[in-house]
Copies of this chain bind each other. A is one copy, B any other.
Amino acid sequence: MYTINWGDLTPELFLKEYWQKKPLLIKAGFNSFQDPITADQLAGLAMEQEIESRIIAHDNNEKWQVSHGPFEEFSEFGENNWTLLVQAVNNWSETTAALLLPFKFLPNWRIDDVMVSFSTPGAGVGPHLDQYDVFITQGEGKRRWQVGLPDAGLIELVPHEDLKQVSAFKPIIDEVTEPGDILYIPPNHPHNGVALENSMNYSVGFQAPSAQEMITALADTVIDKDIAGQRFGDPNRSITISPECLTTEDIKQLQSFMLTQTSDLDLFSDMISSFCTRNHHALEILIPVEPFTEEMVVSYLNDPEIFVRPVLGIKSLINEQNGDLYINGDRVSISENTRELAILIAKNQPLTSESIKSSMDCLNNIQMLTSVLNMGYWYID
């Protein structure tokens, strides 16, 4: 169990002073930090077809190379100046997924994944910006991390077609990170980490939809559900003097028609909940070969040794506005009866049969759990 050692800070103070505002290095943020995964295990994941991985290497003349996984061999890269990065390791490693737990002072829907890197001496991805907040924990090894402030004057560099970097920046943090140190970097703050020894780094990354993504998701939703199909009307039109003209008046009426049809809170709320719970990376959905019946679920849960577990990496939430449960983009309707169990499901932690025994007195709960199991988002173990 990882617990953040805030020192003089508290989560409240962190949110007030640093979150989305200022970078921060929390020295020994995790006391006597234990790596959740070894470099060898990480290399193993990078051999899998469905797991996104990259190796970024540079030579001493600063020529950069990017290779994409799956990888079969690592020896060709030598001893220095290369780093292996694996996305969404929390979707495959339960111990790595545990690194998300200390960040529950932020809502789950803001959290994206844990990226893990293994870097040899001299290695890093180079100075760059990200659009998202990140907490980078130093595991095994040491690394020199520099972080600067947002600066419109920075030049975008593309030393390789798959690599975006920025020009040199003035660091306001410049420190060697040691096991258990946590570095918080807000969006658009340039940063650069160079390994001093073989090094593991764990990036808890956040997600925040852009307006562009939201409007695209809204468009997909109105098409999928075939809503907002009503057509603009103009029963009060007066005679047209300049037929070639699209008047400002008409433009404003068209826009306000579109906005009233689509600024519906229920529609948005449903759309954004699906959006935020869709995974950006592969994960192992476990759809049962034979669908569970309600009777089967009840009988399994009679065994006190049984666990019901969420698939690793599955995203879910309870939408406070409409009260429903969203898992992996899907909506599950919740009633007063099923609310308590739905919250447990949304918390994404394994449940013992004991802990949900009382819920199973209610048919609605059995039905809900059965359908979540049949969707493959949770499983019986």
Q: How many copies does the complex hold?
A: 2
A293-347 interface with B by 8 A CB criterion = 316-321, 326, 343, 346-347
Question: Per-position contact with B for A49-87: 1 when CB-CB < 8 Å, else 0?
Answer: 000000000000000000000000000000000000000
Determine whether the beta carbon of A19 is less than 8 Å from that of B237. Answer: yes
Residue of chain B at shortest CB distance from A237 = B15
Question: Per-position contact with B for A15-51: 1 when CB-CB < 8 Å, else 0?
Answer: 1000111000000000000000000000000000000
Known: A244-B346, A262-B215, A320-B245. A250 touches B107 (CB 8 A): yes
Determine whether the beta carbon of B222 is less than 8 Å from that of A321. Answer: no
Known: A233-B208, A263-B259, A272-B254. A248 touches B320 (CB 8 A): yes
Q: Does A362 contact B (CB under 8 A)?
A: no
Q: Does A280 contact B (CB under 8 A)?
A: no
Q: Does A154 contact B (CB under 8 A)?
A: no
Determine whether the beta carbon of B12 is less than 8 Å from that of A239. Answer: yes
Q: Does A348 contact B (CB under 8 A)?
A: yes
Among B12, B211, B219, B247, point to the contact of A320 (Cβ < 8 A).
B247
Determine whether the beta carbon of A244 is less than 8 Å from that of B20. Answer: no
Residues on B with C-beta less than 8 A from A350 are none
Which of A232, A246, A262, A317 has the largest number of chain B CB atoms within 10 A?
A246
Report A377 CB to chain B, min CB distance, Å.
14
Question: Per-position contact with B for A186-229: 1 when CB-CB < 8 Å, else 0?
Answer: 01000000000000000000001111101110110011001111
Alpha-carbon gap, A243 to B263, bound state (A): 26
Residues on B with C-beta less than 8 A from A223 are 212, 216
Residue of chain B at shortest CB distance from A227 = B212
Interface size on A, residues (CB 8 A): 77
Question: Per-position contact with B for A239-275: 1 when CB-CB < 8 Å, else 0?
Answer: 1101111111011101101110111010011001100
Q: Does A276 contact B (CB under 8 A)?
A: yes
Report A222 CB to chain B, min CB distance, Å.
5
Alpha-carbon gap, A272 to B253, bound state (A): 11
Residues on B with C-beta less than 8 A from A227 are 212
Alpha-carbon gap, A369 to B307, bound state (A): 74
Determine whether the beta carbon of B231 is less than 8 Å from that of A208. Answer: yes
Residue of chain B at shortest CB distance from A100 = B243
Which of A21, A219, A243, A326 has the largest number of chain B CB atoms within 10 A?
A243
Alpha-carbon gap, A238 to B347, bound state (A): 19
Residues on B with C-beta less than 8 A from A244 are 107-108, 316-318, 343, 346-348
Residues on B with C-beta less than 8 A from A104 are 240, 243
Determine whether the beta carbon of A212 is less than 8 Å from that of B229. Answer: yes
Q: Does A355 contact B (CB under 8 A)?
A: no
Residue of chain B at shortest CB distance from A321 = B248
Residues on B with C-beta less than 8 A from A240 are 104-107
Report A77 CB to chain B, min CB distance, Å.
34
Q: Does A7 contact B (CB under 8 A)?
A: no
Report A341 CB to chain B, min CB distance, Å.
12
Residue of chain B at shortest CB distance from A275 = B254
Given contacts A107-B245, A246-B272, 9 further A-B pairs with CB under 8 A are A107-B244, A107-B246, A209-B231, A211-B229, A244-B317, A244-B347, A246-B326, A251-B268, A254-B272
Report 15 cross-chain contacts, Cβ distance below 8 Å, ordered by A residue. A105-B243, A107-B240, A131-B231, A132-B231, A211-B258, A211-B262, A215-B215, A242-B318, A244-B316, A244-B343, A246-B272, A246-B276, A248-B320, A251-B269, A251-B321
Closest 6 pairs (CB-CB, A-B): A211-B261, A244-B346, A219-B219, A211-B228, A20-B235, A214-B258
